[in-house]
Structure 1
Amino acid sequence: MSTHQPPMPQAGAAAPDWQAAPGGSYSGYTSPIPVVRTHLGHAVASEWTKIRSVRSTMWTLGVFVVLVVGIGLLVGAVVGNSGSDLSGDENPLALGFFGLLLGSISIITLGVLTTASEYGTGMIRTTMTACPSRGRVLAAKAIVFFLVAFVVTLAASSFVAMAQMSLLDGTGARNPTGAEWLKGTVGVSFYIALLGLLSLLIGSMIRHSAGAITLMIGAVLAPLVIALFMFSSSLDKVRESLFEYSIPNQMSVFYSNSLTHSGPSGWDPLWIIVGVTAAAFVGAVVLLEKRDV
């Protein structure tokens, strides 16, 4: 049985395209895709694509807007139609507090899901492969989430504030000052966005969606609930501190309607949460660099 032997190349024959000619050198494959040095902007663009592509973003932000606008307009309509005189010194913008407090749970949930959900699906491996700089990935997530949360909160709170002032027309409610408008819209929006950013960082550290959401909701509600059941006089100082530094009370400070006569005032709650969030960011980066994904 004979075997077919391929013909030997003749001397001087041209070499195939994939083979270097005798005495020549092979330059290698050159990709038509331009190679560029990646930077934070690329990571931000990637995270923006992710956050606007998943359904959880639309659901959580949709529920947030419904709670803030729905409860805010309902409270404004009830107070406006009650016939009560609102000529006192209270800030009329404080009627939007209840909707923002409940809506903050939606922002907390979205913040946790922005990071922790990638660990649940395994997407975090793809993310870190595409961008090996882990600190850059976390910074990009933080930037994108904070801007989204702040813009949505500012739009919802501003709309509710203007609508409530219209509903309260004729009740004797005073017009808020410029400083009260700033704190009741921009200030509280910064606070809620930072609260959501803190949730994002906690989700990165815990890497478990349900656990991080439970922890953050507990941090929002537990201090106030615990303080309400401290009846012993020996715990007066502890109860007062829990009241003063609970998140609901700090949010109410933006409307000059604190639950206590001491503790944070003015813009203090914003500086407090900035410090806590900065410390959490450092801790999240350290853990992210040390642990496997």
Structure 2
Amino acid sequence: MTPPAFARSVRAEWIKLRSLRSTWYTLTCLLVVGLGISFLAMNTAGKHYAEQPAAWDPTGRSLTSYIVAQLIIGVLGILVVTSEFATGLMRTSLVATPRRHRLLAAKVVVAAAVAVVAGQVLMFAAFFAGQAVAGAQGVPNAALGDPGVLSAVAGGGLYLAAIALLAVGLGAIVRATAGALAILVGIVFLVPALAPLFPAWMQGLGLYWPTLGAAAVFKTVPDPHFPHPWLNLGGLCLGVAAVLAAAFVTFDRRDV
């Protein structure tokens, strides 16, 4: 039985993505750098716990690798689209799949699947590695069954997947790796850094902005500024959906 056209498109996109060496380099970098940051963060666990025992959050501290991991997984999401524009392969892809929305949808599905798996692997690995380091230093650590821990770890993987899809949308809109990456850096790093300078009516954006409200999902100790982390993460996902919608419109109307 011949598989549906969309299933064939997804399979073709998966073959293209896994055949790129840059895909495996990026995923390897995601895991190595992410775990390295977790080790570095937990190496000072003893000092941090001694200074602020009431605010000690071993789960959130072990997952701080997301700060850099979101940029690395964003690069992967951008390359899912822009690598074909850079090489001219996009014209060939559109000949094979003339319906542009189907082609972009297949890329989104593949990117989402890879990002969810990679993000969850990193978050669980970072959590277990971080707790082992904390335990070796004699400070309280967390178990996966403790209240809020599994939610934080799994939510962290979903957060990274949302960032990857945001990157796919930016790549489809900008069609250039450098430009899309510059915008992504501005979104996840520059805007949060400048947030205190925004007028009062814009402060509410922080509730759903990456590395601000949405990143509260990584913590098990409640943050009074962001008391509803999953609601904030949902707001981020709505924003990502809006960017993807714009990407579909742009991709469908532009020439290659």
Check whether TM > 0.5: yes
Counterparts of 1:124 and 1:157, CA distance in 2: 33
- Structure 1 residues 290 and 240: CA distance shift in structure 2, 3 A: closer
Aligned match of 1:223: 191
Is the counterpart of residue 283 in structure 1 residue 246 in structure 2? yes
Match of 2:33 among 61, 67, 70: 67
Give yes or no for contact 2:38–2:62 (8 Å, CA) kept in 1.
yes
Is the counterpart of residue 166 in structure 1 residue 166 in structure 2? no
Structure 1 or 2: larger helix share? Answer: 2
Deviation of 1:273 after TM superposition, in Å, equals 2.1
Q: Deviations over 1:11-38 (max 9, x none)?
A: xxxxxxxxxxxxxxxxxxxxxxx9x575
Give yes or no for contact 2:152–2:218 (8 Å, CA) kept in 1.
yes
Give yes or no for contact 1:243–1:259 (8 Å, CA) kept in 2.
no
Compute the RMSD of aligned alpha carbons.
2.7
**1:121-132 counterparts in 2 under 5 A?**
121-132=87-98
Give yes or no for contact 2:81–2:175 (8 Å, CA) kept in 1.
yes
Is the counterpart of residue 144 in structure 1 residue 110 in structure 2? yes
Deviation of 1:173 after TM superposition, in Å, equals 4.0
TM-score in terms of structure 1 length: 0.77
Q: Deviations over 1:211-253 (max 9, x none)?
A: 111011101112222135x3xxxx6625744654441123431
- Structure 1 residues 289 and 257: CA distance shift in structure 2, 3 A: same
Aligned match of 2:84: 118
Aligned match of 1:237: 200
* Number of aligned residues: 254
Q: Deviations over 1:185-219 (max 9, x none)?
A: 21111111111111111111111111111011101
Listed as ranges, the gaps of 5+ residues in structure 1 are: 1-33
Match of 2:11 among 45, 48, 51: 45
Counterpart residue type for residue 106 of structure 2: A
Counterpart residue type for residue 292 of structure 1: D
Match of 1:206 among 159, 174, 184: 174
**Worse overlay, 44-53 or 96-105:** 96-105
**1:26-105 counterparts in 2 under 5 A?**
38-80=4-46, 84=50, 88=54, 90-105=56-71
Match of 2:229 among 261, 266, 270: 266
Aligned match of 2:123: 157
Counterparts of 1:242 and 1:259, CA distance in 2: 19
Listed as ranges, the gaps of 5+ residues in structure 2 are: none
Q: Deviations over 1:104-155 (max 9, x none)?
A: 1111111111101211211001001111121111111111111111111111
Deviation of 1:177 after TM superposition, in Å, equals 5.2
Counterparts of 1:188 and 1:199, CA distance in 2: 17
Deviation of 1:277 after TM superposition, in Å, equals 2.0
Counterpart residue type for residue 136 of structure 1: R
- Could you tell me the percent identity over the aligned residues? 26
Counterpart residue type for residue 271 of structure 1: G
Counterpart residue type for residue 250 of structure 2: L
Counterparts of 1:260 and 1:110, CA distance in 2: 31
Counterparts of 1:51 and 1:157, CA distance in 2: 23
Q: Deviations over 1:18-75 (max 9, x none)?
A: xxxxxxxxxxxxxxxx9x5751111111111111111221222122111210110222
Give the number of the structure whose alpha-carbon radius of gyration is greater.
1
Q: What secondary structure does 1:168 align onto?
A: helix
